[in-house]
């Protein structure tokens, strides 16, 4: 005797603890299994691209902070690189090194939250999350030293920085770089080989290599699928070609690979910071730039390897003090496009961790 | 049989005649008050231990504002919850919604009727004590399913369905693990089982203890089997639509059940109230808290399993091992000489290690993706 059953619709979000912001998944369920899923976003749309057209080139920097608010430093970097490319502004050597140091610190901070939130989605009740916040706190302290802010730094300027780093920054950074590998080992000991985590994450939410490339995925999501693609290597910006580091990649493209790639990237970032600290020259941190910048009419696109993937700014100038058009290529949005394919056939619990393993920030998806 | 004022309560218990002819109602009254006070106080203690203990394990302080070391935090929480508005969803099944917390709470209270606090100090020394515990403890599930259904919420319904599925599955290894203990003790009465434990049964029945602990955690939905609450997926599961005192009752049920399971584990495997030097009730209390501490520890450490893995663990892993454990125990009880009791301990621990390792290699948890 077969019971008569019918699928039902479950709204996961927009107010839900595991949607990392105001994201909504309109899931059709057959029991616990997801048979259809429709992502709904736009709840956090603030029109940043349009707002950028009404601000001076420098005035856009605070807006970029509010894109991926867990990685403001990287957003600043991508934007100032685009403007510098557009207007042909040189950057002092010391500023280049500091940019690399800060961007890599930001990558570690962002990955700490990504990994912690992923494990939290798996149901590890806040322990890994709070352990990782403990270390993120140290990075945030470092950022507070240089910029005075703890979340939205607004520290980079076109042609350099607002001010030089304080004297106590480098010793504190040195201490952090020496401590951090031990902490990463601690996370690995805590959960990396945990039987339940392996059962939950291995083979779950597979993103095949071809699909990952076709949907324009980037960052750890793409590398987790086994594609060796990192903007820092394939199109080096700033001074990344001067450092030695590896690009960790996964093989299966499942949640566990994405998680492992992030943990490995933290170690590589520490390597880069260590080298940059050794080579850090003295000198000015900002080149002479007029207060209002009038870039020549034209267009420029600059992209960086942000913690979540390829973050690009496309700027069009009409020789006025504000960009004529500013388009943001947000990695979170691109990575999210394969969500349905990854989720179909899995259960609600898997859907939550698949979503967590993509690591999005709604501020960047909706802009 | 009213105790004279000079006599201590403890003395009164010991002077009770075995069939309590006139003292029946006094006995009933005294122990009902003791049990309710015990549960309410210890639930508060549990909440404090869980929150403070979890705080320490998670590199933070935990609640430390209300009273010394935050000891009054559960009281403050209770006052807050009592003064909250009691909301009932518009389309809820109002009677079921109202009745559910009561139905869930009563069984958790009733389990303690047969748990001995010290020798003979229990409300009713049923000769089928452990059978009564097993029967009563599954009634809570009815209350939880009523809550899930009556709330008219998809999340709570999913949580309640998961709970029913889990409890039905885990009941079987749970009972089979108990039977091993009963075979050795030769009695179903909890008091007799404690009296039989010259060696704590955790040593004679290590595999049984492991199975009982896992199945018990799943029964009461403690992490890593807390699928019915699953705050990262179902937000709060079956009690998502509850507020005020009704929510407080569910919160109470959760910890009263944890208390019940730790009390049963203490009684069956850890020698109950027996122990040197300290008074028996203190031993009982210490062991109960120790068991609960292990539960807090697992909660802070492990991720949650998936629903199909949860069922697979019950049917593919726990059930076969429980059956094997039962057969081995039966053979040992029949064939093993009493003089060699101490030799049984290393043998049984070795059997446990071999079986668990072997079975974890043999069985695969869950079945992964479904084609749609």
Among the partner residues B233, B309, B372, nearest to A348 by beta-carbon distance: B233
Give the number of other CB atoms < 10 A from CB of residue A134: 13
Backbone Cα Rg of chain B = 22
- Cβ of A10 and B154 within 8 Å? yes
C-beta of residue A20 within 8 angstroms of C-beta of residue A332: no
**Chain A contact residues (CB < 8 Å to B):** 8, 10, 16-18, 30, 32-36, 119-127, 130-131, 134, 190-191, 194-197, 199-200, 203-204, 344-350, 352
Res. A222: pLDDT tops 70: yes
pLDDT for A301: 92
B6 confidence band (pLDDT: 50, 70, 90):
very low
Residues of A in contact with B160 (CB under 8 A): none
- Cβ of A134 and B307 within 8 Å? no
- The 3-class secondary structure across chain B, one letter per residue, is CCCCCCCCHHHHHHHCCCCCCCCHHHHHHHHHHHHHHHHHHHHHHHHHHHHHHHHHHCCCCCCCCCCHHHCCHHHHHHHHHHCCCCCCCCCCCHHHHHHHHHHHHHHHHHHHHHCCCCCCCCCCCCCCHHHHHHHHHCCHHHHHHHHHHHCCCHHHHHHHHHHHHHHHHHHHHHHHHHHHHHHHHCCCCHHHHHHCCCCCHHHHCHHHHHHHHHHHHHHCCCCCCCCCCCCCCCCCHHHCCCCHHHHHHHHHHHHHHHHHHHHHHHHHHCCCCCCCCCCHHHHHHHHHHHHHHHHHHHHHHCCCCCHHHHHHHHHHHHHHHHHHHHHHHHHHHHHCCHHHHHHHHHHHHHHHHHHHHHHHHHCCCCCCCCCC
pLDDT for B22: 56
Q: What is the pLDDT of residues A2-11, one digit of tens each?
A: 788 888 888 8
pLDDT for A1: 62
Res. A175: pLDDT tops 50: yes
Q: What is the pLDDT of residues B312-348, one digit of tens each?
A: 888 888 898 999 999 988 888 888 767 677 778 888 8
Task: Tell whether B59 is within 8 A of chain A (Cβ).
Answer: yes
Q: Which domains does chain A have, with CATH numbers?
A: 58-153+160-366 (1.10.645.10)
Task: Work out the end-to-end distance of chain A between its first and last CA atoms, rounded to an integer number of angstroms.
Answer: 52
- Cβ of A352 and B233 within 8 Å? yes
- How does the average pLDDT of chain A come out, rounded? 88
Provide the shortest C-alpha distance from residue B299 to chain A (in Å).
7
B4 confidence band (pLDDT: 50, 70, 90):
very low
Res. B129: pLDDT tops 60: yes
C-beta of residue A315 within 8 angstroms of C-beta of residue A184: no
Average pLDDT over residues A91-103: 90
pLDDT for B359: 83
Q: What is the pLDDT of residues A243-278, one digit of tens each?
A: 888 989 888 888 888 988 999 899 999 999 999 988
Side-chain-facing half-sphere of A108: CA atoms under 13 Å: 31
Q: What is the pLDDT of residues A44-73, one digit of tens each?
A: 888 888 898 888 888 889 988 888 888 888
DSSP 8-class letter at A295: P
pLDDT exceeding 70 applies to what percent of chain B? 89
pTM of the model: 0.84
**Of the ranges A131-140, A338-347, B61-70, B356-365, which one carries the lowest mean pLDDT score?**
B356-365
pLDDT for A314: 92
C-beta of residue B169 within 8 angstroms of C-beta of residue B215: no
B2 confidence band (pLDDT: 50, 70, 90):
very low
- Cβ of B303 and A190 within 8 Å? no
pLDDT for B21: 54
pLDDT for A154: 87
- Helices B206-219, B280-301: crossing angle, 10 deg rounding: 70
Res. B76: pLDDT tops 50: yes
ipTM exceeds 0.85, yes or no:
no
B17 confidence band (pLDDT: 50, 70, 90):
low
Cβ neighbors of A50 (< 8 A, separation 6 or more) are none
Among the partner residues A17, A34, A127, nearest to B235 by beta-carbon distance: A17
- Tell me: cis bond preceding A14? Omega within 30 of 0 counts: yes
Task: Tell whether B55 is within 8 A of chain A (Cβ).
Answer: no
- Cβ of A347 and B308 within 8 Å? yes
A24-30, strands of its sheet edge to edge: A8-12, A24-30, A33-40
- Taking alpha carbons only, the member of A313, A354, A358, A353 closest to residue A333 is A358
Residues of B in contact with A345 (CB under 8 A): 369-372
How many pairs of residues across A and B have Cβ atoms under 8 Å apart?
A: 99
pLDDT for B1: 42
pLDDT exceeding 90 applies to what percent of chain B? 2
Task: Tell whether B299 is within 8 A of chain A (Cβ).
Answer: yes
C-alpha to C-alpha distance for A357 and A353, rounded to whole angstroms: 6
- Cβ of A349 and B307 within 8 Å? yes
pLDDT for B133: 87
Residues of A in contact with B302 (CB under 8 A): 123-124, 194, 196
Residues of B in contact with A204 (CB under 8 A): 368-369
Provide the shortest C-alpha distance from residue A74 to chain B (in Å).
29
Task: Tell whether B306 is within 8 A of chain A (Cβ).
Answer: yes
Query: Which position has the higher pLDDT, B148 or B9?
Result: B148
Cβ neighbors of A6 (< 8 A, separation 6 or more) are none
Provide the shortest C-alpha distance from residue B312 to chain A (in Å).
12
- How does the average pLDDT of chain B come out, rounded? 82
Q: What is the pLDDT of residues B94-115, one digit of tens each?
A: 888 888 888 888 888 888 888 8
C-alpha to C-alpha distance for A35 and A320, rounded to whole angstroms: 52
C-beta of residue B121 within 8 angstroms of C-beta of residue B208: no
Q: What is the pLDDT of residues A130-171, one digit of tens each?
A: 888 888 999 999 999 998 888 888 888 888 888 888 888 889
Provide the shortest C-alpha distance from residue B372 to chain A (in Å).
6
- The 3-class secondary structure across B213-249, one letter per residue, is HHHHHHHCCCCCCCCCCCCCCCCCHHHCCCCHHHHHH
* Coil vs helix vs strand at A168: coil
B205 confidence band (pLDDT: 50, 70, 90):
confident
Comparing alpha-carbon positions, the chain B residue that sits nearest to A121 is: B232
Res. B11: pLDDT tops 80: no
C-alpha to C-alpha distance for A165 and A161, rounded to whole angstroms: 9
pLDDT for B5: 46
pLDDT for A140: 92
C-beta of residue A331 within 8 angstroms of C-beta of residue A306: yes
C-alpha to C-alpha distance for B47 and B63, rounded to whole angstroms: 11
Comparing alpha-carbon positions, the chain B residue that sits nearest to A347 is: B369
Backbone Cα Rg of chain A = 21
Res. A287: pLDDT tops 80: yes
Q: What is the pLDDT of residues B238-263, one digit of tens each?
A: 888 888 888 888 888 888 888 888 98
- Cβ of A8 and B233 within 8 Å? no
pLDDT for B368: 65
DSSP string for residues in A203-228: TSS---HHHHHHTT--THHHHHTT--
Task: Work out the end-to-end distance of chain B between its first and last CA atoms, rounded to an integer number of angstroms.
Answer: 71
């Amino acid at each position: 005797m077969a019971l008569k059953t019918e699928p039902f619709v479950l709204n996961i979000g927009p107010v839900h603890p595991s949607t990392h912001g105001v994201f909504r998944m309109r899931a059709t369920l057959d029991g616990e299994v997801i048979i259809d899923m429709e992502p709904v976003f736009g709840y956090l749309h603030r029109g940043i691209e349009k707002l950028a057209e009404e601000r001076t080139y420098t005035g856009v920097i605070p807006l970029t902070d509010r894109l991926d608010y867990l990685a403001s430093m990287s957003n600043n970097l991508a934007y100032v690189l685009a403007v510098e490319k557009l207007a042909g502004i040189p950057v002092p050597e010391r500023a280049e090194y500091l940019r690399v140091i800060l961007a890599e610190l930001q990558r570690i901070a962002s990955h700490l939250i990504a990994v912690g939130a992923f494990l939290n989605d798996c149901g590890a009740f806040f322990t890994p999350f709070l352990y990782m916040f403990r270390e993120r706190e140290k990075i945030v302290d470092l950022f507070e030293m240089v910029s005075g802010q703890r979340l939205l730094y607004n520290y980079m300027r076109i042609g350099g920085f607002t001010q030089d780093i304080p004297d106590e920054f480098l010793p504190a950074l040195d201490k952090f770089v020496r401590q951090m590998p031990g902490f990463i080992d601690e996370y690995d000991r805590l959960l990396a080989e945990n039987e339940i985590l392996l059962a939950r994450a291995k083979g779950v939410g597979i993103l095949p290599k071809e699909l990952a490339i076709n949907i324009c995925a980037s960052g750890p999501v793409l590398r987790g699928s086994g594609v060796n693609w990192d903007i820092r290597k394939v199109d080096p910006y700033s001074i990344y070609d001067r450092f030695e580091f590896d690009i960790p990649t996964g093989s299966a493209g499942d949640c566990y690979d994405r998680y492992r790639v992030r943990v490995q990237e933290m170690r590589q970032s520490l390597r880069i910071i260590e080298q940059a600290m050794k080579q850090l020259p003295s000198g000015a941190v900002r080149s002479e730039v007029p207060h209002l910048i009038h870039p020549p009419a034209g267009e420029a696109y600059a992209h960086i390897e942000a913690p979540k993937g390829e973050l690009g700014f496309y700027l069009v100038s009409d020789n006025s003090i504000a960009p004529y058009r500013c388009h943001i290529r947000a990695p979170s949005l691109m990575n999210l496009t394969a969500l349905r394919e990854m989720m179909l056939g899995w259960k609600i619990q898997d859907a939550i961790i698949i979503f967590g393993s993509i690591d999005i920030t709604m501020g960047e998806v909706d802009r | 049989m009213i105790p004279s004022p000079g006599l201590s309560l403890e003395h009164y218990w010991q002077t009770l005649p075995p069939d309590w002819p006139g003292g029946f109602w006094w006995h009933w009254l005294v122990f009902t008050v003791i049990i309710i006070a015990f549960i309410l106080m210890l639930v508060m203690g549990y909440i404090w231990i869980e929150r403070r203990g979890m705080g320490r394990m998670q590199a933070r302080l935990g609640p430390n504002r209300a009273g010394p070391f935050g000891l009054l935090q559960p009281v403050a929480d209770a006052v807050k919850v009592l003064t909250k508005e009691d909301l009932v969803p518009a389309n809820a099944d109002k009677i079921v919604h109202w009745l559910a917390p009561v139905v869930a709470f009563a069984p958790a209270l009733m389990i303690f009727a047969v748990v001995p606090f010290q020798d003979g100090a229990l409300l009713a020394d049923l000769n089928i004590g452990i059978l009564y515990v097993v029967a009563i403890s599954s009634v809570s599930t009815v209350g939880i399913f009523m809550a899930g259904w009556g709330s008219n919420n998809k999340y709570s319904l999913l949580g309640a369905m998961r709970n029913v599925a889990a409890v039905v599955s885990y009941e079987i290894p749970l009972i089979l693990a108990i039977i091993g203990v009963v075979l050795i003790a030769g009695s179903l009465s909890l008091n007799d089982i404690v009296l039989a434990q010259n060696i704590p049964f955790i040593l004679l029945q290590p595999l049984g203890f492991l199975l009982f602990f896992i199945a018990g955690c799943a029964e009461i939905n403690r992490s890593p089997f807390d699928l019915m609450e699953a705050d990262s997926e179902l937000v709060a599961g079956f009690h998502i639509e509850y507020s005020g005192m009704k929510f407080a009752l569910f919160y109470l049920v959760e910890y009263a059940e944890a208390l019940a399971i730790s009390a049963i584990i203490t009684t069956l495997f850890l020698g109950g109230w027996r122990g040197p030097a300290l008074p028996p009730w203190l031993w009982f209390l210490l062991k109960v808290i120790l068991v609960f501490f292990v539960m807090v520890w697992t909660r802070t450490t492990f991720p949650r399993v998936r629903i199909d893995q949860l069922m697979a663990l019950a049917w593919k892993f726990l059930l076969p091992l429980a059956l094997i454990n039962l057969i081995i125990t039966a053979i040992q009880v029949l064939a093993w000489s009493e003089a060699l009791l101490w030799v049984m301990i290393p043998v049984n621990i070795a059997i446990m290690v071999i079986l668990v390792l072997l079975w974890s290699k043999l069985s695969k948890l869950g079945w992964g993706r479904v084609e749609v």
